[in-house]
Amino acid sequence: MCARFTPNLEVETEGPLVVALAYDGLCTFEFGIVTEVFSLNRPEMGRSWYRFASTAIEKGPLLAQGGLKVSVDAPPDVLDEADLIVIPGWKGVGIAVPDVLCARLRAAHARGARIASICSGTFVLAAAGLLGGKVATTHWRYAEALRNAYPDIEVDDRCLYRQEGRIFTSAGSAAGIDLMIEIVRQDFGAAAANSVARRLVMPAHRGCGQAQFLERPVAQRPGTGVAPVMEAVVADLRRDWTIASMARAAGMSPRSFQRHFRATTGVGPKEWVTQSRIEAAKTLLTDGHRAIEWVADVIGFANAFSFRRQFRTHVGVTPTEYRSRFFRESKRDL
Protein backbone atom coordinates (compact mmCIF):
# COMPACT_ATOMS: atom_id res chain seq x y z
CA MET A 1 0.00 0.00 0.00
CA CYS A 2 1.56 3.27 -1.11
CA ALA A 3 1.41 6.49 0.83
CA ARG A 4 -1.36 8.97 0.02
CA PHE A 5 -0.20 11.36 -2.67
CA THR A 6 -0.23 15.03 -1.71
CA PRO A 7 0.50 17.53 -4.50
CA ASN A 8 2.47 20.71 -3.98
CA LEU A 9 -0.13 23.48 -4.33
CA GLU A 10 -0.39 26.98 -2.96
CA VAL A 11 -3.69 25.94 -1.39
CA GLU A 12 -3.66 22.33 -0.30
CA THR A 13 -6.76 20.53 -1.47
CA GLU A 14 -8.48 17.39 -0.28
CA GLY A 15 -10.70 16.50 -3.21
CA PRO A 16 -10.61 13.69 -5.79
CA LEU A 17 -7.16 12.73 -7.03
CA VAL A 18 -6.80 13.11 -10.78
CA VAL A 19 -3.83 11.38 -12.40
CA ALA A 20 -2.77 12.16 -15.96
CA LEU A 21 -0.70 9.60 -17.84
CA ALA A 22 2.46 10.79 -19.58
CA TYR A 23 4.25 8.67 -22.19
CA ASP A 24 7.04 8.96 -24.71
CA GLY A 25 5.64 10.96 -27.63
CA LEU A 26 3.17 12.69 -25.32
CA CYS A 27 0.42 14.73 -27.00
CA THR A 28 1.15 18.07 -25.37
CA PHE A 29 -2.16 19.78 -26.14
CA GLU A 30 -4.23 16.93 -24.72
CA PHE A 31 -2.01 16.76 -21.63
CA GLY A 32 -2.32 20.53 -21.27
CA ILE A 33 -6.10 20.26 -21.25
CA VAL A 34 -6.00 17.96 -18.25
CA THR A 35 -3.56 20.11 -16.32
CA GLU A 36 -5.46 23.32 -17.09
CA VAL A 37 -8.74 21.93 -15.74
CA PHE A 38 -7.54 19.86 -12.80
CA SER A 39 -4.13 21.11 -11.64
CA LEU A 40 -4.57 24.88 -11.84
CA ASN A 41 -4.75 26.55 -8.45
CA ARG A 42 -8.37 27.61 -7.89
CA PRO A 43 -8.69 29.01 -4.36
CA GLU A 44 -12.27 30.09 -5.06
CA MET A 45 -13.23 26.40 -5.17
CA GLY A 46 -12.06 25.72 -1.64
CA ARG A 47 -10.22 22.76 -0.14
CA SER A 48 -12.56 20.20 -1.69
CA TRP A 49 -11.14 20.88 -5.18
CA TYR A 50 -9.12 18.29 -7.08
CA ARG A 51 -5.66 17.05 -6.27
CA PHE A 52 -3.52 16.35 -9.32
CA ALA A 53 -0.55 14.19 -10.25
CA SER A 54 1.21 13.04 -13.40
CA THR A 55 2.79 9.64 -13.82
CA ALA A 56 4.22 7.33 -16.45
CA ILE A 57 4.77 3.63 -16.92
CA GLU A 58 7.94 4.24 -18.93
CA LYS A 59 11.16 5.51 -17.44
CA GLY A 60 11.85 9.20 -18.06
CA PRO A 61 12.66 11.71 -19.12
CA LEU A 62 10.02 11.41 -21.81
CA LEU A 63 10.04 13.25 -25.13
CA ALA A 64 6.79 15.09 -25.82
CA GLN A 65 5.53 16.57 -29.07
CA GLY A 66 7.22 19.86 -29.80
CA GLY A 67 10.62 18.71 -28.58
CA LEU A 68 9.80 19.07 -24.88
CA LYS A 69 11.20 16.72 -22.26
CA VAL A 70 8.76 15.68 -19.57
CA SER A 71 9.39 14.44 -16.05
CA VAL A 72 6.42 13.26 -13.99
CA ASP A 73 5.86 14.06 -10.33
CA ALA A 74 4.61 10.71 -9.05
CA PRO A 75 5.49 7.00 -9.43
CA PRO A 76 3.16 4.56 -11.22
CA ASP A 77 1.79 3.43 -7.85
CA VAL A 78 -0.20 6.66 -7.71
CA LEU A 79 -2.59 5.01 -10.19
CA ASP A 80 -3.65 2.78 -7.30
CA GLU A 81 -4.92 5.86 -5.44
CA ALA A 82 -6.45 7.80 -8.31
CA ASP A 83 -10.13 8.67 -8.30
CA LEU A 84 -9.88 9.68 -11.94
CA ILE A 85 -7.25 8.60 -14.49
CA VAL A 86 -7.00 10.53 -17.75
CA ILE A 87 -5.27 9.20 -20.87
CA PRO A 88 -4.40 12.32 -22.92
CA GLY A 89 -4.10 10.79 -26.38
CA TRP A 90 -1.72 8.04 -27.39
CA LYS A 91 1.42 7.53 -29.47
CA GLY A 92 -0.53 6.25 -32.46
CA VAL A 93 -3.55 4.10 -33.23
CA GLY A 94 -1.36 1.21 -34.33
CA ILE A 95 1.14 1.36 -31.47
CA ALA A 96 0.77 -1.36 -28.87
CA VAL A 97 -0.23 -0.46 -25.33
CA PRO A 98 2.09 -1.99 -22.67
CA ASP A 99 0.57 -4.89 -20.75
CA VAL A 100 1.59 -3.31 -17.46
CA LEU A 101 -0.45 -0.19 -18.27
CA CYS A 102 -3.47 -2.27 -19.30
CA ALA A 103 -3.27 -4.20 -16.04
CA ARG A 104 -3.01 -1.00 -13.99
CA LEU A 105 -6.06 0.46 -15.71
CA ARG A 106 -8.13 -2.70 -15.25
CA ALA A 107 -7.23 -2.82 -11.57
CA ALA A 108 -8.08 0.85 -11.10
CA HIS A 109 -11.45 0.40 -12.77
CA ALA A 110 -12.19 -2.72 -10.75
CA ARG A 111 -11.68 -0.86 -7.47
CA GLY A 112 -14.03 1.95 -8.57
CA ALA A 113 -11.86 4.58 -10.24
CA ARG A 114 -13.12 6.55 -13.21
CA ILE A 115 -11.05 6.48 -16.40
CA ALA A 116 -11.25 9.01 -19.21
CA SER A 117 -9.53 9.33 -22.57
CA ILE A 118 -9.00 12.18 -25.00
CA CYS A 119 -8.85 11.60 -28.75
CA SER A 120 -6.66 8.56 -29.60
CA GLY A 121 -6.46 7.70 -25.90
CA THR A 122 -9.59 5.63 -26.55
CA PHE A 123 -7.29 2.97 -28.05
CA VAL A 124 -5.58 2.60 -24.68
CA LEU A 125 -8.89 1.90 -22.95
CA ALA A 126 -9.82 -0.50 -25.73
CA ALA A 127 -6.52 -2.38 -25.41
CA ALA A 128 -7.13 -2.69 -21.67
CA GLY A 129 -10.45 -4.40 -22.38
CA LEU A 130 -12.49 -1.65 -20.74
CA LEU A 131 -14.70 -0.84 -23.73
CA GLY A 132 -15.95 -4.26 -24.81
CA GLY A 133 -19.71 -4.19 -25.35
CA LYS A 134 -19.78 -0.44 -24.70
CA VAL A 135 -20.33 2.67 -26.79
CA ALA A 136 -17.23 4.85 -27.21
CA THR A 137 -16.01 7.69 -29.34
CA THR A 138 -12.71 8.91 -30.69
CA HIS A 139 -11.54 11.40 -33.29
CA TRP A 140 -13.49 10.90 -36.51
CA ARG A 141 -10.24 10.16 -38.37
CA TYR A 142 -9.63 7.14 -36.14
CA ALA A 143 -13.21 5.83 -35.91
CA GLU A 144 -12.90 3.24 -38.66
CA ALA A 145 -9.58 1.98 -37.28
CA LEU A 146 -11.20 1.55 -33.87
CA ARG A 147 -14.12 -0.38 -35.38
CA ASN A 148 -11.80 -2.67 -37.30
CA ALA A 149 -9.45 -3.33 -34.39
CA TYR A 150 -12.19 -3.78 -31.78
CA PRO A 151 -15.44 -4.99 -33.39
CA ASP A 152 -17.02 -5.53 -29.96
CA ILE A 153 -17.04 -1.76 -29.37
CA GLU A 154 -19.92 0.33 -30.72
CA VAL A 155 -18.12 3.39 -32.11
CA ASP A 156 -20.10 6.62 -32.11
CA ASP A 157 -18.12 9.09 -34.22
CA ARG A 158 -20.87 11.73 -34.21
CA CYS A 159 -20.59 12.94 -30.62
CA LEU A 160 -18.00 14.97 -28.73
CA TYR A 161 -17.83 12.60 -25.77
CA ARG A 162 -19.49 9.48 -24.35
CA GLN A 163 -19.92 8.10 -20.87
CA GLU A 164 -20.45 4.44 -20.04
CA GLY A 165 -20.63 4.13 -16.27
CA ARG A 166 -17.19 5.10 -14.96
CA ILE A 167 -15.60 5.11 -18.43
CA PHE A 168 -15.40 8.32 -20.48
CA THR A 169 -14.17 8.77 -24.05
CA SER A 170 -13.91 11.94 -26.11
CA ALA A 171 -13.37 12.86 -29.72
CA GLY A 172 -10.78 15.26 -31.15
CA SER A 173 -8.46 17.22 -28.91
CA ALA A 174 -10.78 20.16 -28.16
CA ALA A 175 -13.59 17.73 -27.31
CA GLY A 176 -11.40 16.71 -24.40
CA ILE A 177 -12.09 20.13 -22.88
CA ASP A 178 -15.82 19.48 -23.16
CA LEU A 179 -15.41 16.15 -21.41
CA MET A 180 -13.22 17.51 -18.62
CA ILE A 181 -15.74 20.28 -17.94
CA GLU A 182 -18.53 17.70 -17.90
CA ILE A 183 -16.63 15.74 -15.26
CA VAL A 184 -16.27 18.92 -13.19
CA ARG A 185 -20.01 19.44 -13.51
CA GLN A 186 -20.72 15.92 -12.28
CA ASP A 187 -18.36 16.35 -9.33
CA PHE A 188 -19.02 19.93 -8.26
CA GLY A 189 -22.15 21.15 -10.05
CA ALA A 190 -23.04 23.51 -12.87
CA ALA A 191 -21.70 26.67 -11.21
CA ALA A 192 -18.22 25.19 -10.85
CA ALA A 193 -18.27 23.90 -14.44
CA ASN A 194 -19.35 27.32 -15.67
CA SER A 195 -16.57 28.96 -13.66
CA VAL A 196 -13.92 26.71 -15.20
CA ALA A 197 -15.38 27.24 -18.67
CA ARG A 198 -15.33 31.01 -18.25
CA ARG A 199 -11.63 30.94 -17.40
CA LEU A 200 -11.07 28.89 -20.53
CA VAL A 201 -13.24 31.37 -22.49
CA MET A 202 -15.46 28.65 -23.89
CA PRO A 203 -19.04 27.40 -23.49
CA ALA A 204 -19.77 25.18 -20.51
CA HIS A 205 -21.53 22.76 -22.83
CA ARG A 206 -21.51 22.21 -26.58
CA GLY A 207 -24.34 20.15 -27.96
CA CYS A 208 -23.12 19.71 -31.53
CA GLY A 209 -21.16 16.64 -32.50
CA GLN A 210 -18.14 15.97 -34.67
CA ALA A 211 -20.19 16.37 -37.85
CA GLN A 212 -19.85 20.14 -37.50
CA PHE A 213 -16.12 19.93 -38.20
CA LEU A 214 -14.86 19.89 -41.79
CA GLU A 215 -11.95 17.78 -42.96
CA ARG A 216 -11.06 20.65 -45.31
CA PRO A 217 -12.42 23.92 -43.92
CA VAL A 218 -13.21 26.58 -46.51
CA ALA A 219 -12.29 30.13 -45.54
CA GLN A 220 -15.05 32.68 -45.38
CA ARG A 221 -14.42 36.13 -46.87
CA PRO A 222 -16.28 38.83 -44.92
CA GLY A 223 -18.72 40.79 -47.03
CA THR A 224 -18.87 38.24 -49.85
CA GLY A 225 -20.58 34.95 -50.59
CA VAL A 226 -22.90 33.61 -47.91
CA ALA A 227 -21.32 35.40 -44.92
CA PRO A 228 -23.72 38.40 -44.94
CA VAL A 229 -26.71 36.07 -45.11
CA MET A 230 -25.44 34.08 -42.14
CA GLU A 231 -25.06 37.29 -40.15
CA ALA A 232 -28.59 38.34 -41.09
CA VAL A 233 -30.02 34.98 -40.00
CA VAL A 234 -28.33 35.10 -36.60
CA ALA A 235 -29.53 38.67 -36.11
CA ASP A 236 -33.17 37.72 -36.82
CA LEU A 237 -33.76 34.05 -36.03
CA ARG A 238 -37.48 34.66 -35.58
CA ARG A 239 -37.91 35.26 -39.29
CA ASP A 240 -39.09 32.42 -41.52
CA TRP A 241 -35.79 31.77 -43.28
CA THR A 242 -36.31 29.61 -46.36
CA ILE A 243 -33.70 28.63 -48.92
CA ALA A 244 -35.42 30.92 -51.38
CA SER A 245 -35.32 33.94 -49.05
CA MET A 246 -31.69 33.33 -48.11
CA ALA A 247 -30.73 32.90 -51.77
CA ARG A 248 -32.42 36.21 -52.64
CA ALA A 249 -30.53 37.94 -49.82
CA ALA A 250 -27.28 36.51 -51.21
CA GLY A 251 -28.14 37.48 -54.79
CA MET A 252 -27.90 33.87 -55.98
CA SER A 253 -30.16 31.24 -57.40
CA PRO A 254 -31.37 28.70 -54.80
CA ARG A 255 -29.23 25.95 -56.34
CA SER A 256 -26.10 28.10 -56.46
CA PHE A 257 -26.72 29.35 -52.93
CA GLN A 258 -27.04 25.84 -51.52
CA ARG A 259 -23.83 24.79 -53.24
CA HIS A 260 -21.88 27.79 -51.95
CA PHE A 261 -23.35 27.47 -48.48
CA ARG A 262 -22.42 23.82 -48.09
CA ALA A 263 -18.91 24.46 -49.41
CA THR A 264 -18.48 27.21 -46.80
CA THR A 265 -20.05 25.58 -43.75
CA GLY A 266 -20.09 21.85 -44.42
CA VAL A 267 -23.87 21.65 -43.88
CA GLY A 268 -26.95 22.67 -45.78
CA PRO A 269 -28.64 26.05 -45.17
CA LYS A 270 -31.74 24.64 -43.43
CA GLU A 271 -29.65 22.46 -41.13
CA TRP A 272 -27.43 25.43 -40.29
CA VAL A 273 -30.41 27.64 -39.45
CA THR A 274 -31.74 24.96 -37.11
CA GLN A 275 -28.33 24.62 -35.44
CA SER A 276 -28.15 28.39 -35.00
CA ARG A 277 -31.57 28.44 -33.39
CA ILE A 278 -30.60 25.63 -31.03
CA GLU A 279 -27.43 27.47 -29.97
CA ALA A 280 -29.46 30.62 -29.34
CA ALA A 281 -31.93 28.57 -27.31
CA LYS A 282 -29.15 27.39 -25.01
CA THR A 283 -28.32 30.98 -24.18
CA LEU A 284 -31.96 31.89 -23.59
CA LEU A 285 -32.39 28.89 -21.31
CA THR A 286 -29.59 30.03 -19.02
CA ASP A 287 -31.72 32.40 -16.97
CA GLY A 288 -33.95 29.52 -15.91
CA HIS A 289 -37.14 31.61 -15.96
CA ARG A 290 -38.46 32.05 -19.50
CA ALA A 291 -41.19 29.66 -20.63
CA ILE A 292 -40.26 27.08 -23.26
CA GLU A 293 -43.03 28.44 -25.49
CA TRP A 294 -41.48 31.92 -25.33
CA VAL A 295 -38.01 30.60 -26.20
CA ALA A 296 -39.41 28.62 -29.14
CA ASP A 297 -41.19 31.70 -30.51
CA VAL A 298 -38.23 34.06 -30.15
CA ILE A 299 -35.83 31.81 -32.04
CA GLY A 300 -38.22 31.03 -34.88
CA PHE A 301 -39.75 27.61 -34.22
CA ALA A 302 -43.38 27.17 -35.26
CA ASN A 303 -44.38 25.85 -31.85
CA ALA A 304 -42.98 24.47 -28.60
CA PHE A 305 -43.46 20.86 -29.71
CA SER A 306 -41.26 21.36 -32.79
CA PHE A 307 -38.67 23.17 -30.67
CA ARG A 308 -38.52 20.40 -28.06
CA ARG A 309 -38.18 17.73 -30.74
CA GLN A 310 -35.37 19.52 -32.57
CA PHE A 311 -33.58 20.44 -29.34
CA ARG A 312 -33.58 16.85 -28.15
CA THR A 313 -32.37 15.64 -31.55
CA HIS A 314 -29.41 18.03 -31.60
CA VAL A 315 -28.47 18.19 -27.92
CA GLY A 316 -29.57 14.81 -26.62
CA VAL A 317 -31.77 16.15 -23.80
CA THR A 318 -34.96 18.20 -23.61
CA PRO A 319 -34.82 21.98 -23.11
CA THR A 320 -36.07 21.56 -19.56
CA GLU A 321 -33.44 18.92 -18.79
CA TYR A 322 -30.73 21.10 -20.34
CA ARG A 323 -31.74 24.07 -18.21
CA SER A 324 -31.83 21.98 -15.05
CA ARG A 325 -28.59 20.17 -15.76
CA PHE A 326 -26.32 22.96 -16.90
CA PHE A 327 -27.72 26.21 -15.64
CA ARG A 328 -29.53 25.52 -12.40
CA GLU A 329 -29.07 28.17 -9.78
CA SER A 330 -26.22 27.40 -7.41
CA LYS A 331 -26.06 28.14 -3.71
CA ARG A 332 -22.35 28.68 -4.05
CA ASP A 333 -21.16 32.15 -5.03
CA LEU A 334 -18.29 31.54 -7.41
Q: pLDDT tens digit string along 58-82?
A: 987 898 988 899 999 999 999 999 9
CB-CB contact of 58 with 91 (8 Å) = no
**Which region holds residue 288: left if phi is over 0, alpha if psi is between -120 and 50, else beta?**
left
- Same domain? For 186 and 274 the reply is no
- Same domain? For 234 and 318 the reply is yes
- Same domain? For 110 and 242 the reply is no
In a domain, 42, yes or no: yes
Domain boundary among 200, 233, 256: 200
Strand pairing report for 167-170 and 161-164: antiparallel
- Same domain? For 133 and 231 the reply is no
- Same domain? For 229 and 282 the reply is yes
- Same domain? For 173 and 272 the reply is no
Give the domain range for residue 293.
Answer: 214-326
CATH code of the domain covering residue 318: 1.10.10.60
Q: Is the pLDDT of residue 219 over 90?
A: no
Q: pLDDT tens digit string along 20-33?
A: 999 999 999 999 99
Q: What is the pLDDT of residue 257?
A: 92
- Same domain? For 255 and 133 the reply is no
Handedness of CA 313, 317, 321, 326 (dihedral sign): negative
Rg of the chain (C-alpha set) = 22
The structural domain count of the chain equals 2
CB-CB contact of 98 with 123 (8 Å) = no
In a domain, 173, yes or no: yes
Residues 6 or more apart from 87 whose CB is under 8 A from it? 21, 115, 116, 117, 118, 121, 124, 125
- Same domain? For 192 and 222 the reply is no
pTM over 0.75: no
In a domain, 146, yes or no: yes
